[in-house]
Structure 1
């Protein structure tokens, strides 16, 4: 006889029963409590080195008394603002609760469970894997090259007449590798007719030359391409969850039909519009990140690390000591990085977010101290 407790879980989908929850790193407060620290420098999540725009903070405060209201369904004002800022048609823009939601909508709209497949590199952004599996869609992956560049031939070889989506991230995470846009264009032309190429450009603003790497200005010439962007990085809105997809109007229309009507909350909507208005903060973010990236590249190389070329707001490096040991020693000193042993199988590799000048120096000084103690 079925117990009352187990009845609630009868016929839970196998995809759900086999799921492992997302494992986030320890928070700043958890690190403080575990190691008895007063201050912690977090360089693990690729967040904005300057925090949040002062204008955005002001706008959030001014709209705080409106949070009992629903946002306008579909966020048309935000979509218009995004379109103007990025040089798009408003009909091409689909806003979402982070770009994660747009990924989910694309898979639900394009991929038929048990029939279609999705193709990506390995490793890739974890949400491609999670959402494909949750939607009951096969995910096919091919390894990156040894230098973390992209093997286009191997990627294309995985596609067939039932490939609904191919995901490519540029700059890639965790390596920071960024292919020339001509290679993305060539890939789009090689894919099966029904296949949508989704180019995730979460870190594109940090490349220093977006026109040389982004598919956004080329969407009109590639009807089988969708570009994803987020407000979590260069715009400093990670905690408010805001992103968008730019795609052909017909596909955008289908996504808007199935999107929950109020997934982008009213504060995120106003914050996103204000973030695009604050060009001073945006440009300063890019400047500080570029300078910090150059500094970390030099210092890490001087410490005997293998540093991988990155055009993002983070750097991947191979340390001269075990990554788990380095990670633990840094945590004891109040510095959080992203180790790449779990999920990536890279025991000596770490990913460090480019922080502000002070944070970067604190990290490098601690790294030097760890190596000298050994």
Structure 2
């Protein structure tokens, strides 16, 4: 019996699409190596887990999971606006900040005409969503010291540049741009170009006033900021993010957004997370103390850590990075090799609880024979 020939026509962009490459899961490594305990320091998740306040709210609201959330999420958007000190007309909530990225490309970019600019390496979703929308994706290499190539991004932009994405602090380097430099980039871009600054890791910087454009948005009509609840707020599994946008752009985004893309439990969790200042501050304390500890220990092991303003550290081990990564896996420690970022000699480790950080250092010492 012959196999039927499909008559479905698939766009070329979809045929060549490369899926997102996530970090390895704890269960996967337990099964592979027969381990009882595995520590995951690969995905930049919150070291403290989920806020107790959020857990109570989720338990109390679970019975409402059969209901649709209120269209447009007015309560959630108002809570976000109040937390950031901006007009609610600027706020768009999304199914992770990934949805905001996708909407920006769809709303602003004309397929076959416009292009998107970003650094290399960068968050893969910028390029993937441009590709699936038929929009050219252009990149500029990071500077030799891993700082963001803001000047060269401005030089590369032209009248067909619809979007420029900048991640600050950057992933995987942990480098944060200064607000003055980001503002200079925004002012140097063509009039129709939107600068989207992805601030997924902004909470972990030493001085947010020197790193975020949030206080300057009123004078920068071509700037959007992206934030996530996956890191500092511990809600990675619920998928919740937001965009702080020019009001007229936010209005259009809200109109074209797929209805109910933020589920009811994520909405309630987000509102609760914004109210739990104790958990938030403890997350920042644990992360900063753990970051300082890891920087010191990695340097002592000759691993050349890159100074970081985020909740992870990129480092260059004195031995082959792939072998070090696999040696850590066998000892139940998951970190992130950076070959997929074009940095085959480097590894990224998330900051965990202190006991997790110490277990990582101990395992790394064994692997390196130090």
- Provide the rounded CA distance (Å) in 2 between the counterparts of 1:156 and 1:183: 11
In structure 2, the partner of 1:187 is 185
SS at match of 2:341: coil
Deviations 1:266-289 (A, max 9, x none): 000000000011100000000000
Report the alpha carbon displacement of residue 132 of structure 1 after superposing the two structures with TM. 0.4
For the 8 Å contact 1:320–1:348, the answer to whether it is kept is no
In structure 1, the partner of 2:6 is 6
- Provide the rounded CA distance (Å) in 1 between the counterparts of 2:70 and 2:308: 39
In structure 2, the partner of 1:199 is 197
1:136-151 equivalences under 5 Å are 136-151=134-149
- Provide the rounded CA distance (Å) in 1 between the counterparts of 2:3 and 2:321: 46
- Provide the rounded CA distance (Å) in 2 between the counterparts of 1:152 and 1:259: 30
1:250-329 equivalences under 5 Å are 250-329=248-327
SS at match of 1:227: strand
In structure 1, the partner of 2:24 is 26
- Provide the rounded CA distance (Å) in 1 between the counterparts of 2:110 and 2:268: 35
Report the alpha carbon displacement of residue 127 of structure 1 after superposing the two structures with TM. 0.3
Asked whether 1:211 is paired with 2:209, we answer yes
2:236 to 235, 238, 241: 238
> Structure 2: where are the runs of 5+ without partners?
none
In structure 1, the partner of 2:361 is 364
Report the alpha carbon displacement of residue 5 of structure 1 after superposing the two structures with TM. 4.8
SS at match of 1:306: coil
In structure 2, the partner of 1:355 is 352
For the 8 Å contact 2:286–2:353, the answer to whether it is kept is yes
In structure 2, the partner of 1:178 is 176
For the 8 Å contact 2:151–2:185, the answer to whether it is kept is no
Report the alpha carbon displacement of residue 133 of structure 1 after superposing the two structures with TM. 0.2
For the 8 Å contact 2:154–2:189, the answer to whether it is kept is yes
Asked whether 1:221 is paired with 2:207, we answer no
Give the paired residue count: 369
- Provide the rounded CA distance (Å) in 2 between the counterparts of 1:25 and 1:198: 25
1:59-138 equivalences under 5 Å are 59-138=57-136
Report the alpha carbon displacement of residue 159 of structure 1 after superposing the two structures with TM. 1.1
> Structure 1: where are the runs of 5+ without partners?
none
TM-score (norm 1): 0.97
* Root-mean-square deviation over aligned CA pairs: 1.1
For the 8 Å contact 2:150–2:182, the answer to whether it is kept is no
Report the alpha carbon displacement of residue 3 of structure 1 after superposing the two structures with TM. 6.1
In structure 2, the partner of 1:344 is 341
Asked whether 1:160 is paired with 2:158, we answer yes
